[in-house]
Structure 1
Amino acid sequence: MAMGAPRMNGTAHPLSAIAGHCNAEADEGSMVVVASKDDKHAAEEMSASMQQRLVESSTASTGVDEEDTDAVEMAARMQRRLDVLPGRPHESEPFTIFRVAGPMRDRNRHLYEPQMVSIGPFHRGAAHLRAIEEHKWRYLRDLLSRSSGDGAATLASYTEAARVLEPRARRHYTEPTGHLSARDFVEMLLLDGCFIIEFFLKGEDRASDALIDAAWAMQNVSNDLLLLENQLPFFVLECFYGLATGGLGRDHLVTNLLAKYLTVETPQDAATAKPPDGEIHHILHLYYHWFLPTEDVAPAADNNQEAEDKAFDEWLAKPMDERVPWLLPSASDLKDAGVTFRAKKSPRSLVDVTFRPGDGVLEIPAVESYTNRAAFANLLAYEQSRGRWELQRLMSYVVLMASVVRNGRRDVEILQRAGVFVKGDEETAAFYAHLGELLGGAATAWGPAHDDYYTDLFRDVREHCGRSWNRHRAVLAHDYFSNPWTTMSAAAAVLLLVLTVVQTVYTVLPYYHS
């Protein structure tokens, strides 16, 4: 019979789409097919199979469309986020203000968090710092009153300057500052920047002020201004100082105002202090520049893959004891190996440690005058934030001191007798040891020791300790010449030995003579 609408046991076939297609083919003059019962059964099975395939195909097609739609929407959202990022691809961000991370911060939060005044966005709004916020408004009023006349800077001038600097200032913080609106961020720059300028101006004027006159408050504010997490970009301070003084620039701010306060406990003299070459990042960067004056050192390797691979290969080719140059023996072990400790006279800086291989003298600057541990810890944190290709002078010094005093009291006594620790401060030794432990992972992470400040010194010390004669001489000096009584005993023993030899010679000579 002719195939019109296929029937199964007298009922219409469910695949109407296929039926329509078949009807269309029939209208076009296709041949008539006569099917038996077996043929009808086979056709029914084939139709069911085709129906299942179409359903599966339709379901899969719908799922793909939905996934494609979700992917397009997600890509659009992510693209909007990418479009608002500052800078350009492959352009390094100008990050200069970091939050201290890792074990350095976890065990020493009091060294890195402000105790009295917050500067910048990281600690803004902290409960224990709210008392000083009112003083910031008072200091802003005092700074505005310093200038008068037609050309004087007004509050609107400061506000407009802060508004212009806001996008640039945001890019200097490593953590997002999106929680602060543009208005809030501008207000923060204005209040914090003017507070810093007025704080130092009041100190220069020796004006009567409750905050300045209280010694504990003055010290706490000064400490908080040297914390890495508590900084403003220096160009903000420079701009506000120019408005307050009628156009005086960066050099005048640095040499005539800040040098009087930031050169305390540094080898740099305030009268001869100069700003560093290039950009000043913030107040802590300026303090680091004067705390560790620039020295004539070999230029650091270029930050490229070829130089890094070459340095790493050279590091791998060294013996194990040279791969880890920070493993200097303790003071007691060095003394047993013939090394003599002395306090260095007129050091260029705290890290000016030298070793004389000829006589085995290790000279270390005395550390009793430097007691501001919070500033020291933040100087160290700032140095590590500069990048792996920068010379790590302070980190090298901390690791050296930590290794020298690792045995505790005995090592402290040796350095005390040498004048390095004038007070024999075990707490200071523990501070170095603690920082050394925290830096252990960071030190090994540097890999090649090309950035270690004491590479040559460590090599000379190891060579000196490796000579057996130096060790024997040290044992001799320790056992027989450590005090006048043992020296007299040793001299008497030597004299007795000489007399015995002479007596023996005179006893034997007559026998050979006869």
Structure 2
Amino acid sequence: MDSPLMEPLLVPKDHAPVVAATPGEHGGAAADESSTVVVTTSGPARALADAEEKTNDDGDVQGDELSASVQRRLDESSGVEKEDEEEEEIGDDAEADDMAARMGRRLAALSGKAHESEPLTIFRVAGPMRERNRHLYDPQMISIGPFHRGGGRHLAAMEAHKWRYLRDILARPGGATLATYARAARAMEARARRRYAEPVALPAAEFAEMLLLDGCFVVEFFLKGQESEEDALIDATWAMQNVYNDILLLENQLPFFVLERFYDLATGGLGRDYFVTNVLVNYLTVNMSAGPRDPESTRPPDGEIHHLLHLYYHWFLPPEDRLGSGSGATSKSEDEALEEMTSKSMDDDERTPCLLPPASELQDSGVTFRAKKSPRSMVDVTFDRRGGTLEIPAVESYTNHAIFANLLAYEQSRGRWELQRLVSYVLLMASVVDARRDVEILQRAGVFVGGDEETAAFYAHLGELCPPPDFVNNYYAGLFRDVREYCGRSWNRHRAVLVHDYFSNPWTCMSAAAAVFLLVLTVVQTIYTVLPYYSPN
């Protein structure tokens, strides 16, 4: 191998393979013809130079021997380099094999097949929303699923009730055995695990046991409630309400197919529709407030039910044929809604996120507010473009804030192009109610019933945490456009200026009235002054 050291070598001029620049070449004193030239060389090159010098001194025979010796040194050097390259290549291959083995083990641990994936349906609440409202998203009494498993002493007390409910569901006439439940839980373990948006660090056996214990508790809880069975947990109203709240939290969910399977085992296979319609929805309707008024909403949804909160969302916001003011997008499907909205000719400002002015400004522009009669759901807000009437369903002060906040979080975890009805509703209410005067306007209209300021503050707080949807998936896209066009009419614009400048408070109102009164008196006086000239009698 080449030596790392570089040394000067004295070589006769006529034999030097590489000649360094001499001072004479650069205009200096001419070098002597017989002088030697200093070159810098190393390794095999130096050996060749030695061989040539030795040949000149001792003859051709010795030079040939020396050349052969040098050639052997060159061959040895080349061989060492080749060995080093081969060792490096072998080392690289070994490291690559080890890396491939490690990655292969990780890939083998993945469930499912390539290009196939289960939809992620159970999420944690996004950071900003959760940090400011932990009490709305954390279970207060019981943990369901892996996210809050072992979450504290206040949740540990309910573990004994889970085992008691498991014993009760196993004792149901015609029900399955514990071994059958266990086999069903193990069979669903991998599929259920894939529904959670975060990796669950539980072994397969422990995860399946959690599915069995928590799933049977939820099913038995609803069965006891439907049958009005006496139970210490059901009879305590405060405890029952807390359990209802906890099993509807976004982070406290089990995949719905787990509950459906355990319900079939407990009842002998009554079926999904019976479970949804007669057990879940009807009982939720009785025990949860602020539900829809449309009886069609109790029908099971056509597609897959992801979990209990998804079912409650479907019941809370039933599908509607038309949205908002009746001139916005349709809810036929997310793709059709996107195509319909993007196919319309709209200005750039119409495509941007849009909010309504406060109720006081809308009222100044001629918009009147009215509580909507028999709304299909709480988001059934409409606007009459001719009369300028904005109808909003009455907001009940006893609306469950925790459930509403979790419905809002669930809606934001859905597909990108899903129409965001609750987010749009929260932002609409937060924009309409900006001051005490706005609350009073909605109160007189019958929109706010009960604790108005607290409800308005709740919507305002949630509105700060909701990113505004764009025009494509804004539920009130058509309503915003209609209200803007109505307020932009010439008469309504001048009316708003007049009301704002002259009737915004009692003093300006009195001043304007006095000015009008003086103007009328002046006109009357002028008439009586001029009239005798034209009619002396």
Matched, 1:255 2:277: yes
CA gap 1:428/1:53 in 2 versus in 1, 3 angstroms: farther
Does structure 2 retain, via aligned residues, the 8 Å contact 1:238–1:250? yes
Q: Any stretches of 5+ residues in structure 1 without a counterpart?
A: 1-13, 16-32
1:87-486 paired onto structure 2 within 5 Å: 87-128=112-153, 129-147=155-173, 152-177=175-200, 179-263=201-285, 264-265=288-289, 266-268=291-293, 273-297=298-322, 298=330, 299-302=332-335, 318-320=347-349, 322-405=350-433, 407-423=434-450, 425-440=452-467, 443=468, 448-474=470-496, 476=498
Amino acid aligned to 2:156:
R
> For the aligned residues, what is the CA RMSD?
3.6
User: How big is each residue's C-alpha offset from its partner over 1:291-344, in whole Å with a ceiling of 9 and x where there is no partner?
Assistant: 00110142345399xx79x978989x7334x23333322233333433333322
Q: Give SS of 1:451's match.
A: coil
Structure 1 residue 92: Cα displacement: 4.0
Structure 1 residue 461: Cα displacement: 1.8
Structure 1 residue 427: Cα displacement: 2.9
Q: Give SS of 1:362's match.
A: strand
User: How big is each residue's C-alpha offset from its partner over 1:93-134, in whole Å with a ceiling of 9 and x where there is no partner?
Assistant: 222222222312222222122111111122122223111111
CA gap 1:211/1:232 in 2 versus in 1, 3 angstroms: same
Amino acid aligned to 2:84:
T
CA gap 1:55/1:313 in 2 versus in 1, 3 angstroms: farther
User: How big is each residue's C-alpha offset from its partner over 1:247-275, in whole Å with a ceiling of 9 and x where there is no partner?
Assistant: 21112112222123322320146797211
Does structure 2 retain, via aligned residues, the 8 Å contact 1:268–1:291? no
Distance 2:297 2:352 in 1: 39
My pick for the range that moved more, 138-147 or 271-280, is: 271-280
My pick for the range that moved more, 244-253 or 498-507, is: 498-507
User: How big is each residue's C-alpha offset from its partner over 1:417-459, in whole Å with a ceiling of 9 and x where there is no partner?
Assistant: 333223353332222222222112xx3xx6x521111111111
My pick for the range that moved more, 416-425 or 65-74, is: 416-425
Among residues 66, 72, 78, which one is paired with 2:97 in the alignment? Answer: 72
Taking only the aligned residue pairs, the percentage that are identical comes to: 67
Distance 1:383 1:348 in 2: 19
Distance 1:388 1:159 in 2: 37
Does structure 1 retain, via aligned residues, the 8 Å contact 2:375–2:393? yes
Distance 2:252 2:293 in 1: 24
Larger radius of gyration: 2
Distance 2:77 2:187 in 1: 67
CA gap 1:461/1:90 in 2 versus in 1, 3 angstroms: same
Distance 1:349 1:272 in 2: 10
Does structure 2 retain, via aligned residues, the 8 Å contact 1:396–1:453? yes
Does structure 2 retain, via aligned residues, the 8 Å contact 1:326–1:400? no
Structure 1 residue 69: Cα displacement: 1.7
CA gap 1:44/1:271 in 2 versus in 1, 3 angstroms: closer
Structure 1 residue 85: Cα displacement: 2.5
Distance 1:164 1:114 in 2: 28
Does structure 2 retain, via aligned residues, the 8 Å contact 1:259–1:270? no
Distance 2:369 2:382 in 1: 10
Structure 1 residue 47: Cα displacement: 6.4
Distance 1:349 1:102 in 2: 29
Does structure 1 retain, via aligned residues, the 8 Å contact 2:172–2:266? yes
- Which residue number corresponds to residue 8 of structure 1? none
CA gap 1:50/1:508 in 2 versus in 1, 3 angstroms: farther
Amino acid aligned to 1:450:
V
CA gap 1:337/1:39 in 2 versus in 1, 3 angstroms: farther
Q: Give SS of 2:92's match.
A: helix
Amino acid aligned to 1:61:
E
Structure 1 residue 469: Cα displacement: 2.5
User: How big is each residue's C-alpha offset from its partner over 1:365-416, in whole Å with a ceiling of 9 and x where there is no partner?
Assistant: 22124421111111111112220121111111112122223x3434333333
Does structure 1 retain, via aligned residues, the 8 Å contact 2:248–2:309? yes
Q: Give SS of 1:377's match.
A: helix
Structure 1 residue 160: Cα displacement: 2.4
Structure 2 length-normalised TM: 0.77
Q: Give SS of 1:232's match.
A: coil
CA gap 1:152/1:331 in 2 versus in 1, 3 angstroms: closer
Distance 1:77 1:301 in 2: 41
CA gap 1:220/1:510 in 2 versus in 1, 3 angstroms: same
CA gap 1:36/1:421 in 2 versus in 1, 3 angstroms: farther
Amino acid aligned to 1:160:
R
User: How big is each residue's C-alpha offset from its partner over 1:440-487, in whole Å with a ceiling of 9 and x where there is no partner?
Assistant: 2xx3xx6x5211111111112222333352143245457777899999
Does structure 2 retain, via aligned residues, the 8 Å contact 1:228–1:381? yes
CA gap 1:254/1:508 in 2 versus in 1, 3 angstroms: same
Distance 1:426 1:56 in 2: 83
- Which residue number corresponds to residue 5 of structure 2? none
Does structure 2 retain, via aligned residues, the 8 Å contact 1:416–1:424? no
Distance 2:282 2:515 in 1: 62
Q: Any stretches of 5+ residues in structure 2 without a counterpart?
A: 1-42, 45-57, 323-329
Q: Give SS of 1:302's match.
A: helix
Structure 1 residue 224: Cα displacement: 0.5
Q: Give SS of 2:369's match.
A: strand
* Total equivalences in the alignment: 470
